[in-house]
Amino acid sequence: MWHLLLVLQLRDDLMTMLIAGHETTAAVLTWAVFLLAQNPSKMKKAQAEIDSVLGQGRISFESLKKLEYIRLIVAESLRLYPQPPLLIRRSLKSDSLPGGYKGKKDGHSIPAGTDIFLSVYNLHRSPYFWDRPHEFEPERFLVPRNSDIEGWSGFDPSRSPGALYPNEIVADFAFLPFGGGPRKCVGDQFALMESTIALTMLLQKFDVELKGGPESVELVTGATIHTKNGLWCRVTKRSDLH
């Protein structure tokens, strides 16, 4: 019996490593490049920050803390293309949720044992919580947003002083790139830093253009949001490097 349990544990650990620790980071970087390629001025802004902080040197933890705009690009990519796009929770006891914006005055009753599907993708693109929700604007995470929605206290970067990346605390759970609460992803900071380092190393040396228009990139959802046939790009050495 214990052999079977060991095999099941090993399988679960390998699946966690493969999906939660590999595919998600690759997906974030894919969509960050996709978004930057459509916004060359923002790519240049990111490269200017890299040049100012690093020059042609290597990134370190201390320099990563100075790469604010790169970190915000990663966060905004996760807002538009969250990994995973859906969270599932089961209510262990009966509860009630607020009615929401212009919703039911008496809220929503949740019986014990109810499976609740949370569409992070829709949450991150909701016009109730975000201005111009479908636009790629990394700078949005620097600006507080007041709330007139029942049960939501708005977006305030000062709620989490010292945090390198926006999180569920500053957004009062309107931004859930790694979930929230006691079952939030334990590797969130590692994944964010890994993505920041990889994106920095790419933009430090290269410019990226889409090969074909953005409409040619088909979106497929599963455990992550990924492309159907890959993200075909034209990568060239930066011409502005000295």
Q: Domain 20-237 belongs to what architecture?
A: Orthogonal Bundle (1.10)
Band the pLDDT of 182: cuts 50, 70, 90.
confident
The structural domains of the chain, with segments of one domain joined by +, span 20-237
Closest to 199 measured CA to CA, from 79, 54, 3, 2: 54
Write out pLDDT tens, residues 120-179: 999 999 999 999 999 999 999 999 999 888 778 999 999 998 899 999 999 999 999 888
- pTM of the full predicted structure? 0.88
pLDDT at 207: 95
Q: Given a cut of 70, is residue 101 above it in pLDDT? A: no
Q: How far is CA 117 from CA 22, 101, 121, in A?
A: 24, 19, 12
